[in-house]
Chain A
Amino acid sequence: MNSGKSTGGVLECGLKKDFKPGFMTSIPYISDLPFPYWLLAAAIALLAFGCLTLILIVYSRRTFSLMQERKKNDLRFRYQYFLYDALVESQKNSIDFQHVVLTLFQEENKKHKLDKQVLMKLLIDLKRSFTGSSEAQLLQLAKDLQLPEYAYQKLQNRRWSTQAQGIRELSAIHVSDKAYQSEIAELRTSSNLMLSQEAQISLVKLSNPPDLSFLNDLRTPLSHWHQIHLYHHLRTVNKEFLPDFGRWLSSENESIVIFSLRMMAEFEQRYHTEVVLQQLGHNSGAITLEAIRTVKQLRLTQAVDALVSLLQHNNPKVQLASLQAIGQLGSIQHLSYLNPLLTHQDYWIRRTAQDAILQLQQTAATPSSSPESSLQPSD
């Protein structure tokens, strides 16, 4: 091996040793650099270490995960058995379910350490399968076992994921304690999007009527994802307790107006139809588009004239949505607006106009029948 006194790649083939063109004087040949044996040794050692570590990590992680999984399953099975046993006992002998289960879990706690995470998950899963008094019993049991305090501790954690987990657990076991709720309310405006969304959804679930006050001062867009999740929980709420979404139609936040229109359509809120109709002329194409869908879903036939004027809109999506809405809400006299569109240069406008005309004709012939889409086979 070279001793480190390198003479440079080409110098060994008969060229003058001291020869160096001007531009090479400042930077030496790579091969003139001292030979860093230590680096080679370190790299080989690092790789060997890396391989060994990888194998060790993989095997130990897999073994550990398997053990953890097995332990959790055992615990889950045991706790589940306790709960069912107590339910049966309480029904057979008319004894207090809470008392039986608490005694069992206290004994469990003395013998082994009660795994609250497993228990929390089990109760949340079980709660989904029960309603009425059984659900109430499970929720009361969660309180008696101090699971809300356990979940609340997670809110104090510095990691957003642990905080979000705590929020989710508190809302899953319906903790309506004001202190906890105010703590969650503070996280509604967290800079961490996931955490703030979790807090907002949690407040919708925990409060009655659902607390959507965050919509009043939300400056950032309400993502479609979040809208979908909010709606997912709102549809479990009794319609009587839902807020009037028309109040947010004047919001400066475009996404909130869209969300409100969607909710008005889904929950059939017809309190502010005039305001909905006004949205058809909104500057924002996205709001106009959503307003058309709302009008269609709420079957606001008084919107047809406005929809006809939207056929001239510069946004093709608005034109298409208007055409579809006219097909559903219009009558045979609107055919005069649609017929010229059959020769429109845009394929989708032609095709949607064709569908709409077919719908209007079928509605006129048999008002109750549902028209066939043109996508159906021709025969």
Chain B
Amino acid sequence: MKEIFIHSISYTAEHLIFMYTLVLAGFSAFLALFGLIEVRNYLKRSRFEDHQAILSSPFTPRISLIVPMYNEGQTIIDSVRSLLSLQYNNYEVLVINDGSSDESLNKLIQHFQLVPTYLESNYQLPTKKVGNIYKSRHKVFNKLVVIDKANGGKADALNAGLNHAQGDLVATMDADSIISPDALLKMVKPFLQSQERVIATGSIVRIANSCTIEDGSLVDVQLPTSLLARFQALEYIRVFLLSRLGWSRLNGLLIISGAFGLFDREIAMKAGGYYTKTVGEDMELTIRMRRYMHDHDLPYKVVYIPDPLCWTEAPTSLSQLSRQRNRWARGTAETLIKHRGLFFNPKYKLMGLLSYPYWLCFEYLAPFVETIGLAYFVVLAITGQVQWAHFIFFLVIVYLFAVLLSLVALIAEEFSYHKYRNKSDIAKLIITAFLEPVIYHPIVLVNALKGNVDLFIGKKSWGEMKRKGFTKDHQTLPKKVRG
């Protein structure tokens, strides 16, 4: 009986883990291939795109850019100033002050000479109480609307923005992100070009650490000097350039990054806006909008474009990174649990049959499978049952595959946007690719597990991330972001 039990456990574990690894590797390779094709096609098409025509056209859709703000006093003036000078002719900037306890709102009022309007508040999507709605006295700032509301979290602030947005499209971003001047111009393209209705677009997000920022705009791109930030720079290149674009080609995307995304306002509103009881509101909204389209039998697309349009500051300390990854893991778990009805549900076509199962099995469950595998290995090692030659063989294969995937992403980056121009940068990134699986991956793994534990014990908070900020007060010279 004991033998049967040990055999059964051993046999099942070996085969399951082996098959899981094989399928995951296959999926990763498949997505990478699709991602590369998508990048190539996009760049080819871009050669014939005349943005001047859009800039001066009276037919461009109006975009409302929603910027939730919570204690962003350090950077908000520069951020808003840069947002007011984006290259697009028909947009408004809605800054939502989510009950900041610092000087953020006062700084905005003083700098942009804001005064309250008599507009009533809109609660079509339920939100915390909205106070004043401000506009500037100066015509030069007439694109700016500032909405002051009680603190309710990022999703609540975004909902307040959705309620007051006048545009057909709404762009959402983090107040501490930096977007390129042509970001709206490029993000709106899929909405204009596609024969099918596009409900959301996202762009590549990159790491701004060590880059030079001037007046809220990125002026010089540098590879992060901090190793932790550099790991994330590589991770972002790989995830966005290969995986997200691969899913975009399949029309199977389940997430548009909260750092910067553009949505069809009508569908976002009809789908119910942002869900305030999750910390993964960006993924949750994307899925709910997709579900809405399926439920109403409407053809649609969710698109990612490979242009690196958004730059964000990556955590440079382990504690910050830990909080961020913990939150991401909880957000993913909450969203997947909430939408569990999608799992292998043919009604939702590719989303139900492929995207959801993939996210569940390979994004959410991966840390658990990996932990089980490690625990199984430890037991075998303690009982002296490890065949070391086989173990080393598989370990090296998996390691090499992970490194290879990063190298493919670096090649894609080199042939597409090659933002890191210093010759030494590519060598540094290759070294980072070799170090990542052994140094960075375990950190991410542990925090993903901690996130699930926190979810289980009912922790709901975002976990504050102290930003170093892109610029400091009274600073006129270009500033390098540390890290």
Contact = CB atoms under 8 A, between A and B. Distances in A.
B481 interface: no
Interface string A350-368: 1100000000000000000
A194 B3 contact: no
Contacts of B18: 30
A33 B463 CA distance: 48
Interface stretch (B55-63, B245-253, B327-335): B55-63
Contact of A58 (B15, B119, B120, B426): B426
Interface in A184-227: 194, 198, 220-221, 223-225, 227
Interface centre among B116, B120, B193, B401 (most CB of A within 10 A): B193
Contact of A21 (B8, B15, B404): B8
Contacts of A1: 389
Interface stretch (A10-18, A275-283, A325-333): A10-18
Contacts of B396: 40, 43-44
B476 interface: no
A10 B10 contact: yes
Nearest to B57: A228
B456 interface: no
Given A229-B53, A377-B137, A54 B411 contact: yes
Nearest to A167: B48
A179 interface: no
Interface stretch (A45-53, A67-75, A109-117, A142-150): A45-53
B7 A225 contact: no
B389 A2 contact: yes
A177 interface: no
Interface stretch (B70-78, B217-225, B378-386): B378-386
A241 interface: no
A224 B192 contact: yes
A119 B54 CA distance: 28
A35 B390 contact: yes
Interface in A329-379: 347-348, 350-351, 374-379
Interface string B195-221: 100000000000000000000000000
Nearest to A228: B57
A377 B54 CA distance: 31
A15 B7 contact: yes
B2 to A, nearest CB: 9
Contacts of A61: 414-415
Contact of A228 (B10, B192, B383, B411): B192
B426 A54 contact: yes
Contact of B45 (A54, A194, A220): A194
Interface in B365-424: 380, 383-387, 389-390, 393, 396-397, 400-401, 403-404, 407, 410-411, 414-415, 418, 423
A1 B396 CA distance: 14
B119 A375 contact: yes
Nearest to A168: B48
B194 interface: yes
B148 to A, nearest CB: 15
Interface centre among B52, B61, B380, B385 (most CB of A within 10 A): B385
B400 A43 contact: yes
B182 to A, nearest CB: 16
B113 to A, nearest CB: 10
Contacts, number: 157
A20 B411 contact: no
A332 to B, nearest CB: 23
B135 A376 contact: yes
Given A10-B385, A377-B137, A227 B7 contact: no
A223 B194 CA distance: 7
A78 interface: no
B11 A29 contact: yes
A50 B402 CA distance: 13
Contacts of A223: 192-195
Interface centre among A21, A225, A229, A266 (most CB of B within 10 A): A225
A9 B385 contact: yes
B411 A57 contact: yes
B296 interface: no
Given A12-B385, A39-B397, A228-B54, A24 B117 contact: no
A12 B384 contact: yes
B430 A54 contact: yes
Contacts of A20: 7
B41 to A, nearest CB: 10
A352 to B, nearest CB: 10
Interface centre among B61, B384, B430 (most CB of A within 10 A): B430
Nearest to A297: B58
A134 interface: no
A377 B116 contact: yes
Contacts of A62: 418, 423
B4 A9 contact: no
Contacts of A9: 10, 14, 380, 385-387
A224 B47 CA distance: 19
A30 B14 contact: yes
B6 interface: yes
A220 B195 contact: yes
Contacts of A273: none
Contacts of A227: 59
Contacts of A105: none
A95 B113 CA distance: 62
B135 A24 contact: no
A35 B59 contact: no
B466 interface: no
A16 B53 contact: no
Nearest to A7: B387
Nearest to A6: B387
Contacts of A29: 10-11, 14
A1 B391 CA distance: 11
A364 to B, nearest CB: 21
Interface of A: 1-2, 6, 9-10, 12-13, 15-16, 19-21, 24, 27, 29-31, 35-36, 39-40, 43-44, 46-47, 50-51, 54-55, 57-59, 61-62, 161, 164-165, 168, 194, 198, 220-221, 223-225, 227-229, 231-232, 262, 266, 347-348, 350-351, 374-379
Q: Which 9 residue pairs of A and B lie closest in terms of their CB atoms, listed nearest first?
A: A232-B53, A2-B389, A378-B118, A225-B192, A347-B122, A377-B115, A224-B192, A225-B193, A1-B389
Given A221-B195, A351-B120, 19 more contacts: A9-B10, A9-B14, A12-B385, A13-B384, A16-B3, A19-B3, A21-B8, A31-B14, A31-B387, A40-B396, A47-B400, A54-B407, A58-B414, A161-B47, A168-B48, A224-B61, A228-B57, A348-B122, A378-B117
